[in-house]
């Protein structure tokens, strides 16, 4: 599918299009094409063109073939940026173009596709257009006709055709609504099936036990929210429901960065170990797994509970020891990464699976780990997320999970002072970085991109995006700061400060090494993308700077702010933005004045929908492996459609709990493909 559309049907007069970003104009060629050679070795081709409001110079680079295209008197529709040059002449640079021919209407919307080297959007578009009519009739429609009619949805063939080549803005909107509904229905069915299987299964009952031996070792008092969350876990695993039946726990622990989710997970692991059974905690990165292991082993070691760590970097001899200990039951708690999913890992009595950062693991990955339980009864599941989500949205996103919220911060946690500044503060900001480092602190700097983008002449700002039919950013949005260039320039500006670089294109081991060096104080300033959103605890970090802050969701900014202020030193967060629109300023003012993660989440949902709850950075995509990959929906941009999908899913499962009826066969295949697993694994 296209990643965006150029709205070329919105034709303007030349005079009205100057300085307005990408615009469509219809111009008549007024002169022959002239070529010249530049000092750089490139060639430039240019000619003049006009309409009733004025004229401009049209330029191309290294394109001698345009001599055979543009002839005096010919009329073309051009699409590109029209601006004044330094000498105040009007110039249209490297535009897209189409000849205007009477009786051959031009499309209002032109698709822009994701590309790779040697492939142009125009060429790909032509190929897709050639096969479109044959292709759409061959696509089986998984939606029963009655469901489609009940919800006023077009056929899948109509939706696919108009998602590529929309007949109108209304047709594009209808197409996206159908494709969004299909995604939401698949997601809703997966959740409904998971809940159905969970409630029908028996879980491992854990005998009652006191948690005091563990909590007596803690150097602090648990918050009320932590106690309530653990009571939820205890009730799930020990007490059961009103019928005294214990179903496998499926609970998500949601709370701000630093709110104390990990200690609740450790309490649950202690409960399991005290019962003589095994618990496994899976973290998304090796460095986070190592931090969890160090914290847990420190406490469990004093209680005589054997704990092990298993990651890709664990030496083979140690891996073999851990495999043996898990298999014979002598190791009661293990903490690791995806290495826990290895075929070589076998448990003797696995009763609890914990995953840290829920969005990093797909449904199937969680299921694979749970399936390692040898008991006929199902193991319990506890997942953690540092994204504070409004209760109503959480019930939808995690419909297959019971939600426990930790909405209190530990005593003594200092508030992080937050400031909003623009580019004019750059020198003072650099001085502030130097001052924080001199005082013994460390600094995070987050940029929205990794490297500066290259303009290949085919790229365009997304005037229309399939998910929202609107551009998320104004055409005059400030240029993006990229982490690579930023780190280089900062090191030149502050030669006495040790600057490090971290981004998502680095290999896992390299990222872990950089983060470890920062945690150990070998790096003073870490320039990064949002890959640090899920990171280790660095109590010495006292300053968080977020560049192009208008590009981030409020919940994401709140999580980034939560990476500092974790020690005893006063900490600060500086949001840098040159975007002066009223909406952008209102959002950043919310961050400056609000510190409650749930209040921010509610505001985020109100302002921009749930897309901001998940990273919008291509560098740090939160797409699940073995989970649903949302291409058209952000789950709640259209709450009415989401609710329709959930109601439909419940009705389908109510009639056909295992999707075995012939009319639901295609839906079953679609969900199994999305999960890359048999439906029986969804639980």
pLDDT, tens digit, for every residue of 454-507?
333 333 333 333 333 333 333 345 678 889 999 999 999 999 999 999 987 888
Give the three-class secondary structure for 517: helix
Give the tokens for residue 419. 């400031």
The total number of residues shown for the chain amounts to: 683
Question: How far is it, in rounded angstroms, from Cα 463 to Cα 8?
Answer: 10
176: tokens are: 């996206």
pLDDT of residue 627: 46
pLDDT band at 624 (very low <50, low <70, confident <90, very high): very low
Of the CA atoms within 13 Å of residue 382, those in its CB half-sphere come to 27
In order, the DSSP letters of 142-157 are: -S-HHHHHHTTPPPHH
Residue-wise pLDDT for 497-523, tens only, equals 999 999 878 887 788 889 889 989 999
The pLDDT value given to residue 468? 32
Using CA atoms, how far residue 630 sits from 169, 454, 670, in Å, is 22, 27, 14
Percent of the chain with pLDDT over 90: 40
Range list of H helices, 242-362? 261-274, 286-302, 316-328
Q: Please write the tens of the pLDDT for every residue from 66-85.
A: 999 999 999 999 999 999 88
Highest mean pLDDT, choosing among 385-389, 509-513, 552-556, 568-572: 568-572
Q: Which of 142-151, 203-212, 418-427, 613-622 has the lowest average pLDDT?
A: 613-622
Secondary structure (DSSP) of 444-474: EEE-SBSSPPP--SS----SB-TTTSS-SS-
* Rounded Cα distance, 24 and 13, in Å: 9
The DSSP code sequence of 194-247 is HHHHHHHSPBPPPPP--SHHHHTT-SSPPPHHHHHHHHHHHIIIII-STTS--P
Give the CA distances from residue 435 to residues 151, 265, 519, in Å, rounded to whole numbers and listed in that order.
Answer: 60, 38, 19
On the question of pLDDT at 229 being above 50, the answer is: yes
What is the torsional sign of CA 379, 380, 385, 391? Answer: positive
């Amino acid at each position: 599918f296209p990643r965006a559309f150029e709205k070329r049907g919105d034709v303007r007069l030349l005079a009205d299009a100057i300085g307005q970003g990408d615009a469509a104009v219809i111009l008549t060629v007024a002169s022959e094409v002239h070529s010249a050679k530049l000092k750089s070795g490139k060639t430039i081709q240019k000619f003049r063109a006009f309409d009733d409001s004025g004229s401009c110079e049209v330029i191309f680079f290294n394109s001698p073939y345009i001599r055979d295209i543009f002839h005096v008197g010919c009329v073309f529709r051009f699409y590109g940026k029209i601006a004044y040059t330094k000498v105040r002449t009007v110039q249209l640079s490297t535009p897209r173009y189409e000849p205007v021919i009477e009786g051959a209407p031009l499309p209002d919307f032109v698709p822009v596709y994701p590309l790779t080297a040697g492939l142009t959007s125009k060429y790909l578009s032509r190929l897709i257009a050639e096969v479109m009519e044959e292709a759409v009739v061959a696509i089986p429609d998984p939606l029963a006709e009655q469901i489609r009619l009940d919800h006023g949805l077009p056929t899948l063939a109509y939706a696919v055709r108009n998602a590529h080549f929309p007949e109108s803005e209304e047709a594009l909107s209808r197409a996206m609504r159908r494709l969004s509904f299909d995604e939401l229905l698949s997601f809703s069915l997966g959740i409904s099936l998971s809940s159905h299987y969970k409630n029908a299964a028996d879980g491992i009952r854990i005998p009652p036990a006191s948690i005091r031996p563990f909590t007596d070792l803690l150097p602090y008092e648990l918050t009320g929210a932590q106690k309530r969350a653990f009571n939820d876990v205890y009730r799930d695993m020990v007490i059961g429901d009103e019928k005294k039946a214990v179903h496998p726990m499926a609970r998500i622990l949601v709370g701000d960065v630093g709110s104390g989710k990990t200690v609740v997970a450790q309490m649950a692991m202690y409960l399991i170990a005290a019962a003589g059974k095994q618990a496994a905690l899976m973290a998304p990165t090796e460095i986070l797994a190592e931090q969890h292991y160090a914290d847990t082993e420190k406490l469990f070691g004093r209680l005589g509970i054997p704990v092990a760590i298993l990651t890709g970097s664990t030496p083979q001899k140690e891996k073999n020891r851990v495999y043996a200990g898990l298999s014979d039951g002598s190791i009661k708690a293990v903490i690791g990464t995806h290495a826990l999913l290895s075929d070589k890992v076998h448990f003797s009595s696995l009763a609890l699976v914990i995953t840290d950062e829920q969005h990093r693991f797909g449904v199937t990955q969680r299921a694979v780990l749970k399936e390692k339980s040898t008991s006929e009864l199902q193991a319990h599941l506890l997942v953690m997320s540092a994204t504070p989500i409004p209760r109503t949205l959480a019930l939808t996103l995690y419909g297959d999970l019971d939600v426990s919220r930790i909405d209190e911060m530990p005593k003594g946690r200092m508030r992080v002072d937050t400031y909003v500044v623009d580019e004019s503060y750059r020198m003072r900001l650099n001085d502030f970085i130097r001052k924080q480092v001199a005082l013994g602190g460390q600094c995070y700097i987050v940029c929205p991109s990794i490297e500066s983008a290259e303009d290949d002449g085919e790229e365009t700002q997304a005037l229309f995006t399939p998910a929202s039919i609107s551009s998320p950013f104004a055409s005059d949005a400030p240029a993006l700061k990229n982490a690579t260039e930023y780190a280089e320039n900062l090191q030149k500006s502050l030669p006495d400060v040790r600057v490090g670089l971290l981004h998502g294109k680095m290999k896992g081991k390299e990222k872990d090494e950089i983060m470890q060096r920062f945690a150990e104080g070998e790096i003073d300033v870490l320039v990064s993308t949002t890959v640090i959103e899920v990171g280790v605890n660095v109590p010495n970090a006292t300053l968080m700077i977020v560049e192009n802050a208008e590009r981030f969701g409020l919940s994401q900014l709140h999580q980034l702010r939560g990476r500092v202020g974790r020690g005893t030193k006063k900490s600060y967060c500086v949001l840098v933005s040159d975007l002066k629109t009223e909406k952008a300023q209102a959002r950043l003012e919310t961050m400056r004045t609000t510190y409650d993660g749930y209040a921010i989440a509610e505001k985020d949902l109100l302002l921009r929908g749930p897309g901001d709850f998940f990273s919008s950075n291509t560098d740090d995509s939160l797409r699940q492996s073995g989970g649903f990959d949302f291409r058209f929906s952000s789950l709640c941009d259209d709450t009415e459609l989401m609710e329709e999908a959930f109601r439909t899913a419940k009705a389908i499962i109510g009639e056909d709990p295992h999707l075995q009826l012939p009319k639901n066969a295609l839906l079953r295949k679609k969900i199994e493909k999305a999960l890359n697993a048999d439906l029986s694994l969804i639980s």
